[in-house]
Structure 1
Amino acid sequence: PPPAPPAEVALTIATNTAYVGACPVMAAQRQGYFAAQRLRVTLQPHSSGKQALEAVLSRQAELATVADIPVVLAALDGRPVQILATIFRTGRDHGLVARRDRGIHSGADLRGKRIGVTLATSGHFALEVWLNRQRLDTADVTLVNYAPAALLPALAGGAVDAISGWDPFLDSAQQALGAGALRFSDADVYQSIYNMVALAGYLRQQPQTAVRLLRALDQGEQFCRRHPQQAMAFLAGLSPAGRAAVLAAWPAHHFGLELDQSLLLALEDQARWAIKNGLGASRQVPNFLDYVATDALQAVRPAEVTILY
């Protein structure tokens, strides 16, 4: 007789439903790939990976989609999180939007200005790297901490001269300010590495659930690559102009499950930055092999696991 189907498992995934990197998760939900793996998934919306990871740490969700910086900060604080797989990479979603009426026409003009940013996020890290490229330091500007959704009101209201963050927040700021907005971005400055993460204890207890999850996400990745027009409908809250901008950038995005050695190198680099800025409890760069779980991806896409042990 055929084997009995696996028991249905209920999961909550904390994710940013407006962010293009979460497309594989939303495709797996909307196209029924999770259901086909006997996973009853609830998507819990958040505006940042920092918030999404906090939902996992506080046991409000089993999994979260996050960029690399929240994982680094969790590791520095000894929090037992692990990356199952990188699900998305891009160099086109981070940057700054500045007000031209504040005399900002080039990167050098940011000296002495107030910049809104969500501290201890990828927007914070990308801002510091970008400032260094302009031969500026954070001491040359004033950083003002805002939640991601509060960045646009702060910029539009004049509380800050520029904001640093990621799309869709930057795109919304550009549209709101129109010709008065100037956007700075550089694909060579920062590559966003977007990951699926969970608590290490959960992955030890639910190894087959992790495999089934990645099988569904693998199908979601393929859908997002092959059907960008349809996938656009999954992104919540985008204006028509915002959708056009995201679609134009689609070919530059990389959808695909992987655990690459470059991930560890990026985490180590960002850990040094975080330690320098006093953002974590530890003063030592962690061994990030302890924060990666390879077994599930080895079962689904073994050729995409290139981490060296």
Structure 2
Amino acid sequence: MRSKFAIAAVLLVLLLGAAYVVSQRSPSKALPLEKLVIAVNTEYVGVCGVVAAQRQGYFADENLTVVVQPHSSGKSSMQAVLENRADLGTVADIPVMFAAVAGTPVRVVATLFRTEKDHGLVGRRDRGITGPASLKGKRVGVTQGTSAHFTLDVFLNWQRLSANDITIVNYKPEALPEALYKGEVDAVASWEPFLGEIRSHLGDNAVSFSGEDVYESIYNIVGMQQYVLAHPETVRRVLRALMSGNRYCRDNPEVMQPLLAATAKQTKEAVLAAWPSYHFEIELDQGLVLALEDRARWAIRNRMAASDQMPNFLEYIYLDGLSAVAPSSVTIIH
């Protein structure tokens, strides 16, 4: 009789465990189906978590129907959010900073991804680009108001040069490679995958300068204050799905690397080589606040900002969502 009770107890524990697993995998079955649009820079490896969440069904597990709206830059994704063409968007720190300095009510929901090795410059050797100092007097293409613009400015400063020592030509990110090939500019400042595409096309004629020590890309998911505050449960569901997506990226690089290579228009070898520098973590870290303040000082000093006043960036970060889902991932002092 005792053995029967023991077997029954074991079965009960197993059943409860299975139920727990199912509840963890499908936490939102009681929640209503919700549709939302996420503006995504689909040509950037940093959005791996979004791609995985869509591909592996993590959004669906949260009863979310997500439309991924493709863009070629975080600046473009931010514009879609500002114009209410998307509910959320993936965007680097620079567009967030510009919006906050202008007083635009955006909210960072979480940081998706960080890396320090995907920005830089590429110049043409046959245009006299041989080293950093040779940029003086040259035409340099860049997408103004982006992380590449910040990288270029800091890089010049490190070489004891300034924006006045070069001619800056503004292009959309996807237009930069062709501008360099045609000789409209002598060098470009950009990010991957565009830099890799240019190096591959130019071969020995390419001269590269890494932005590794100049700029760390902090890639985030953002929304307008009105949407974020009105949809707290949706935000939590999105964050849970993205956490699962990022975990999948970390645990299954052999699956995601070729997929991202195709999405980001990079070679598998390029993605593989850079993979160790990619940090797929959903977080809200104090470093984000410090980075936003640093970028704001740059924009104000160069008279690119809508105001000369430093905003309180805590007012532009939504802490409640991630605090509810993963409180240990919130290290912002508040």
- TM bin (shorter chain): over 0.9
- The equivalent residue for 2:301 is 276
Q: Which one has a bigger Cα radius of gyration?
A: 2
1:115–1:161 CA contact under 8 A, matched in 2: yes
1:29 alignment partner, one of 54, 58, 62: 54
Moved more, 126-135 or 225-234: 225-234
User: Does 2:233 match 1:196?
Assistant: no
- The equivalent residue for 1:249 is 274
CA–CA distance in structure 1, aligned partners of residues 264 and 233 of structure 2: 35
CA–CA distance in structure 2, aligned partners of residues 115 and 186 of structure 1: 15
- The equivalent residue for 1:112 is 137
- The equivalent residue for 1:102 is 127
**Counterparts of 1:149-188 in structure 2 under 5 Å?**
149-188=174-213
Q: Helix, strand or coil: the match of 1:72?
A: helix
Q: Deviations over 1:273-293 (max 9, x none)?
A: 111222222110100000000
Q: Helix, strand or coil: the match of 1:257?
A: coil
User: Does 2:72 match 1:47?
Assistant: yes
1:76 alignment partner, one of 80, 101, 116: 101
Residue 238 of structure 1 and its aligned partner are, at CA, apart by 4.8
Query: Measured at CA, do residues 214 and 129 of structure 1 come closer, stay the same or move farther in structure 2, by a change above 3 Å?
Result: same
Query: Aligned residues, how many?
Result: 307
2:92–2:217 CA contact under 8 A, matched in 1: yes
TM-score by length of 1: 0.96
The gaps in structure 2 that reach 5 residues or longer are 1-22
1:86 alignment partner, one of 98, 106, 111: 111
1:26–1:234 CA contact under 8 A, matched in 2: no
Q: Helix, strand or coil: the match of 1:258?
A: coil
Moved more, 52-61 or 241-250: 241-250
Q: Deviations over 1:31-86 (max 9, x none)?
A: 00000000100100101111101101111000000000000111111111010100
CA–CA distance in structure 2, aligned partners of residues 154 and 244 of structure 1: 25
Residue 4 of structure 1 and its aligned partner are, at CA, apart by 6.1
2:109–2:221 CA contact under 8 A, matched in 1: yes
Residue 183 of structure 1 and its aligned partner are, at CA, apart by 1.1
Letter in 1 for 2:296: A
User: Does 2:247 match 1:222?
Assistant: yes
Residue 150 of structure 1 and its aligned partner are, at CA, apart by 0.7
1:27–1:234 CA contact under 8 A, matched in 2: no
CA–CA distance in structure 1, aligned partners of residues 29 and 136 of structure 2: 65
1:23–1:234 CA contact under 8 A, matched in 2: no
CA–CA distance in structure 1, aligned partners of residues 277 and 101 of structure 2: 32
Q: Helix, strand or coil: the match of 2:148?
A: helix
- The equivalent residue for 1:211 is 236
CA–CA distance in structure 2, aligned partners of residues 124 and 238 of structure 1: 21
Letter in 1 for 2:33: E
Q: Deviations over 1:245-290 (max 9, x none)?
A: 1111101111101111111011011111111222222110100000
CA–CA distance in structure 1, aligned partners of residues 263 and 234 of structure 2: 31
Q: Helix, strand or coil: the match of 1:293?
A: coil
Letter in 1 for 2:300: I
TM-score by length of 2: 0.89
Q: Helix, strand or coil: the match of 2:280?
A: strand
Q: Deviations over 1:132-184 (max 9, x none)?
A: 11221111111100000110010000010000010001111111111111111
Q: Deviations over 1:202-230 (max 9, x none)?
A: 11110000000000000011111111121
Q: Helix, strand or coil: the match of 1:187?
A: coil
User: Does 2:146 match 1:121?
Assistant: yes
CA–CA distance in structure 1, aligned partners of residues 68 and 114 of structure 2: 21
Residue 242 of structure 1 and its aligned partner are, at CA, apart by 2.4
Identity of aligned residues (%): 54
Q: Helix, strand or coil: the match of 1:254?
A: coil
Q: Helix, strand or coil: the match of 1:74?
A: helix
Letter in 1 for 2:327: P
The gaps in structure 1 that reach 5 residues or longer are none
Q: Larger % of helix: which?
A: 2
